C-alpha cells in the first residue's frame, strides 16, 4: 500500500544506516511498497536490491514476497508471461512452506493477473480458492483486497450485481482496517458496476467520493480512474459543463500517472469532451492517438471504448460508412475477447485432458514392455544351455515387444486424432458463434441503421444531388447487409445444421452455379437412408467446399461434378469431386505447403477415411473420399 511522504522519508533514512542482514531485506521490501501505484522504476530498484541481498545471505524466507513484487511490477508493465510466472512461483513457495495465509495471497495475485490479461474463468477459480482459504484461516486483515479482486472478477464476467456486493465488502473492510487502496478501488468498482447497470446518478456520486478520497491520499492512479469514469458518465448524462470541467482536470493528472495502460482511456475521455463541444476534427485526433497507444499496449478494454466512441463521432456527423467501420471494429474486439477466452480455457483444458489420458496409457504400456523385457532376459539366462529354448524364448520376446509397440503406436495415433478432433470442434464452434454474432449483432445494427435512414428520408427536404447521394448510401448499406449475411452463411450454413449434409451440399453447388463462377452439378444417391453424425457432416461439407473452390480457383474449371453416395451394405460414404480444369502433377502434393490440402488431409484422417486423387496436366482432376459411417 502507498505510504504517506513522511513514512517514506523515515524508511529511506533507516535504510542508509541498515546493516547487511535480514532486517535490511524487510526494510527494502517496505520501501519498495511505498512506490506501489506511484513510481514503478523505484519499485523495481528496491525490489531487485532485496532479491540480491536475499541471495547473498542465502535465505529463502523472503522468496514469496520477492516473487509477488516482481509479479506486480510486470503486471503494471503489461508483460503477461512474466507476471503469471512470478505469481505461480509465489504460489509454489507458499505450498512448499505449507503457509495457508501466503497461499491465499498467492491465489489472489494469480486472480489479479488473470483478470488483467483477459483469462476471467481462471481468475474466478483462483479468487474463490483464495476466499475459501481466507475464511478458514480467519485472515481478516486480508479481506479488503480479496473482496476487491472478487469484485473485479465478477465485473469482467459481466455479473455486475455480484461485483457490487464484493465492491461494497472491499470498501467496508478497507475502512475497518484502514486500507486506503481497497477503499479507493472499492469505490471505483462500485461506480463502474453502477454505470454498467445504467444507474448513472449513483455511479457519479460514488466517483466523486472516490475522487475526493484519492486526492486526499495523493493517489494519482485512482484520481485518474475517478476522473475518467466521471467524464464517461457525464457524457452519457448529457452534462457537457461537468464533462468539460473533469476533462480539464484530467489533463493535469495525465502527466503523473504511472500505469501506462490508462493512457488510451484518457484519450477517449478527451475525445468525448470534444464531441460534446462538436469539435469533431479535434476529437478524431484524440481517438487516433488513443487507438495507436492502446494497440501498442495491447489494451483491449481501452480499444473497445475507443472504437465505440469512434462510431458515435461519425454517426453524429451523418457519416454512416465511417461510423459503421468503427462499430465493426468494436464488435471485432468483443469477438476477439471471446476467442482469447476460448484459447485460454475451453480448448486448452479439453485437449490437455484427453492428451494426458492417452499419455498415461502409453506410459503404462511402456512400463509393461520393460517388465516383459526383464522377464525374457531372465528366462534366456536360465536356459543358456538349451539353444532351442533360447531361440524360442527370444522369438517370443520379439513378438511380444512388437505387439506392445503396435499398441503404443495405436495410442499415439489416437492421441493425435483426439487433439485434431478438439481443434476441428473448436474451429466449427467458433465459426458457428462468429456467424451468429455477425448475423444477430452486426446484422441487427446495420438493419437498424437502414431503418433509421429510411425514416429520415421521409422527413427531410433535400436537393436532387443530396437525394441521389442519400440513395447511394442506402444502396451501399443494403450491399453491406447482403455481404455480411453471405459471410455468416459461408461460416456455418444454416441448412447444414437444420437439414443435413445432402441439402447443404445441394444448396452450396446451386449457389456457386448461380454466381457464374462455374457450372457445378450435384448428384446424391441413397442419402436419405442413414443419418450421418454432425461431426462427420461438417467435415465432409468443408472438404467438398475446399475441393470445389480449388477446382475453380487453381484449376480454372468451368464445370464441376459433386457426387455423394451412401453404400448401405458396406456402411460407406463416398464423396467424389471431378472437374474439367487444367489439372496438376499429383506428386507435387507431397512437397506442397498449401493450407487447403493439409486441411483436407487432416479432416479425412480424423474421419479415418481414404483419399484418392487422379489428375494430370490438361486432363482435369478427380478426387474420391471414402468414409466409414
Q: What is the pLDDT of residues 57-80, one digit of tens each?
A: 999 999 999 999 999 999 888 888
Provide the pLDDT for residue 345. Answer: 46
More confident residue, 476 or 196: 196
Which residues does 7 contact at the CB level (< 8 Å), separation at least 6? 34
Name residue 575's beta-bridge partners.
Answer: 564, 625
CA distances, 176 to each of 102, 171, 473 (Å): 22, 9, 60
606-626 pLDDT, tens digit per residue, is 888 898 999 988 889 999 999
pLDDT confidence bin for 351, thresholds 50/70/90: very low
Give the global pTM. 0.49
Residue with C-alpha cell 463521432? 313
* CA 66, chain centre distance (Å): 29
More confident residue, 273 or 256: 273
What's the mean pLDDT in 453-477? 68
For residue 301, count other CB atoms closer than 10 A to its CB. 16
Please choose, from the candidates 523, 530, 528, the residue with its C-alpha nearest in 3D space to the C-alpha of residue 544. 523
More confident residue, 412 or 559: 559
Does residue 567 contact residue 524 with C-beta atoms inside 8 Å? no
What CA–CA distance (Å, rounded) separates 396 from 408? 18
What CA–CA distance (Å, rounded) separates 406 from 404? 5
Which residues does 146 contact at the CB level (< 8 Å), separation at least 6? 104, 108, 127, 130, 131, 134
Residue 398 has pLDDT above 90, yes or no: no
Provide the pLDDT for residue 3. Answer: 39
Give, rounded to a whole angstrom, the gap between the first and last alpha carbons of the chain: 64
CATH code, residues 494-628: 3.30.565.10
Domains in the chain: boundaries: 360-490, 494-628
Does residue 328 contact residue 442 with C-beta atoms inside 8 Å? yes
What CA–CA distance (Å, rounded) separates 160 from 180? 23
Element (H, E) at 573: strand 572-579
What's the mean pLDDT in 258-276? 87
576-592 pLDDT, tens digit per residue, is 999 999 988 888 877 66
Does residue 211 contact residue 230 with C-beta atoms inside 8 Å? yes
Does residue 612 contact residue 541 with C-beta atoms inside 8 Å? no
Name residue 34's beta-bridge partners.
Answer: none
pLDDT confidence bin for 413, thresholds 50/70/90: low
Q: Where are the alpha helices (DSSP H) in 317-438?
A: 320-344, 346-382, 387-436
503-517: string of b/e by CB count within 10 Å (b at 16+)? Answer: ebbbbbbeebbeeeb
Which residues does 503 contact at the CB level (< 8 Å), separation at least 6? 495, 496
Provide the pLDDT for residue 197. Answer: 95
pLDDT confidence bin for 119, thresholds 50/70/90: confident
* Residue 149: Cβ-neighbour burial (10 angstroms; 0-12, 13-18, 19+): buried
Which residues does 137 contact at the CB level (< 8 Å), separation at least 6? 100, 101, 104
More confident residue, 187 or 398: 187
Q: Of the ranges 104-118, 395-409, 569-583, which one carries the lowest mean pLDDT score?
A: 395-409
80-97 and 100-116 helices, crossing angle to 10°: 170
Does residue 628 contact residue 572 with C-beta atoms inside 8 Å? yes
What CA–CA distance (Å, rounded) separates 160 from 175? 22
Report residue 248 as a C-alpha cell: 480539464
CA distances, 534 to each of 11, 252, 498 (Å): 67, 59, 10
What CA–CA distance (Å, rounded) separates 127 from 135? 12
Residue with C-alpha cell 473448436? 426
What CA–CA distance (Å, rounded) separates 65 from 52? 13
Amino acid at each position: 500500500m502507498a505510504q504517506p511522504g513522511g513514512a517514506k522519508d523515515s524508511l529511506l533514512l533507516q535504510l542508509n544506516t541498515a546493516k547487511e542482514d535480514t532486517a535490511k531485506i524487510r526494510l527494502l521490501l517496505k520501501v519498495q511498497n511505498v512506490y506501489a501505484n506511484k513510481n514503478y522504476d523505484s519499485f523495481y530498484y528496491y525490489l531487485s536490491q532485496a532479491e540480491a541481498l536475499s541471495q547473498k545471505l542465502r535465505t529463502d524466507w523472503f522468496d514469496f514476497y520477492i516473487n509477488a513484487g516482481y509479479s506486480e511490477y510486470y503486471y503494471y508493465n503489461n508483460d503477461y508471461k512474466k507476471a503469471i510466472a512470478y505469481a505461480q512461483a509465489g504460489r509454489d513457495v507458499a505450498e512448499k512452506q505449507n503457509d495457508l495465509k501466503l497461499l491465499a495471497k498467492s491465489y489472489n495475485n494469480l486472480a489479479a493477473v488473470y483478470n488483467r490479461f483477459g483469462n476471467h474463468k481462471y481468475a474466478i477459480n483462483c479468487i474463490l480458492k483464495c476466499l475459501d482459504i481466507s475464511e478458514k484461516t480467519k485472515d481478516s486483515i486480508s479481506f479488503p483486497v480479496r473482496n476487491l479482486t472478487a469484485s473485479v472478477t465478477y465485473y469482467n464476467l459481466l455479473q455486475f450485481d455480484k461485483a457490487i456486493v464484493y465492491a461494497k465488502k472491499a470498501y467496508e473492510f478497507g475502512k475497518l482496517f484502514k486500507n486506503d487502496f481497497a477503499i479507493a478501488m472499492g469505490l471505483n468498482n462500485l461506480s463502474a458496476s453502477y454505470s454498467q447497470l445504467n444507474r448513472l446518478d449513483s455511479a457519479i456520486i460514488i466517483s466523486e467520493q472516490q475522487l475526493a478520497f484519492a486526492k486526499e491520499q495523493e493517489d494519482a492512479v485512482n484520481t485518474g480512474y475517478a476522473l475518467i469514469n466521471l467524464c464517461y458518465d457525464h457524457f452519457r448524462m448529457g452534462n457537457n459543463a461537468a464533462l468539460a470541467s473533469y476533462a480539464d482536470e484530467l489533463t493535469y493528472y495525465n502527466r503523473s500517472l504511472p500505469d501506462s495502460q490508462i493512457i488510451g482511456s484518457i484519450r477517449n475521455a478527451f475525445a468525448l469532451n470534444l464531441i460534446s463541444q462538436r469539435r469533431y476534427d479535434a476529437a478524431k485526433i484524440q481517438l487516433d492517438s488513443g487507438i495507436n497507444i492502446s494497440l501498442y499496449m495491447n489494451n483491449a478494454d481501452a480499444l473497445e471504448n475507443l472504437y465505440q466512441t469512434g462510431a458515435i463521432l461519425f454517426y453524429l456527423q451523418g457519416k454512416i460508412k465511417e461510423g459503421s467501420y468503427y462499430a465493426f471494429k468494436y464488435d471485432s474486439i468483443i469477438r476477439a475477447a471471446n476467442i482469447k477466452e476460448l484459447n485460454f480455457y475451453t480448448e486448452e483444458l479439453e485437449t490437455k485432458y484427453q492428451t494426458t489420458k492417452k499419455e498415461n496409457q502409453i506410459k503404462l504400456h511402456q512400463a509393461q514392455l520393460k517388465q516383459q523385457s526383464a522377464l525374457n532376459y531372465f528366462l534366456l539366462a536360465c536356459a543358456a544351455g538349451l539353444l532351442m529354448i533360447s531361440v524360442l524364448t527370444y522369438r517370443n520376446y520379439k513378438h511380444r515387444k512388437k505387439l506392445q509397440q503396435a499398441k503404443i503406436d495405436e495410442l499415439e495415433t489416437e492421441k493425435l486424432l483426439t487433439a485434431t478432433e478438439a481443434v476441428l470442434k473448436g474451429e466449427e464452434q467458433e465459426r458457428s458463434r462468429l456467424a451468429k454474432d455477425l448475423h444477430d449483432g452486426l446484422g441487427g445494427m446495420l438493419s437498424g441503421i437502414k431503418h433509421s435512414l429510411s425514416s429520415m428520408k421521409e422527413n427531410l427536404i433535400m436537393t436532387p444531388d443530396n437525394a441521389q447521394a442519400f440513395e447511394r448510401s442506402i444502396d451501399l448499406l443494403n450491399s453491406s447487409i447482403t455481404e455480411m449475411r453471405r459471410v455468416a452463411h459461408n461460416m456455418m450454413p444454416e441448412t447444414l445444421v437444420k437439414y443435413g449434409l445432402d441439402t447443404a451440399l445441394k444448396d452450396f453447388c446451386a449457389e456457386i452455379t448461380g454466381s457464374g463462377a462455374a457450372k457445378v452439378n450435384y448428384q446424391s444417391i441413397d442419402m436419405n437412408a442413414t443419418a450421418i453424425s454432425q461431426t462427420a457432416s461438417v467435415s465432409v461439407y468443408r472438404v467438398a467446399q475446399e475441393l470445389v473452390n480449388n477446382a475453380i480457383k487453381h484449376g480454372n474449371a468451368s464445370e464441376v461434378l459433386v457426387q455423394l453416395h451412401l453404400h448401405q451394405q458396406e456402411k460407406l460414404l463416398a464423396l467424389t469431386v471431378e472437374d474439367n480444369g487444367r489439372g496438376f502433377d499429383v506428386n507435387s502434393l507431397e512437397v506442397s505447403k498449401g493450407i487447403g490440402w493439409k486441411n483436407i488431409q487432416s479432416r479425412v484422417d480424423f474421419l479415418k477415411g481414404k483419399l484418392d486423387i487422379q489428375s494430370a496436366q490438361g486432363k482435369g482432376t478427380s478426387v474420391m473420399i471414402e468414409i466409414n459411417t
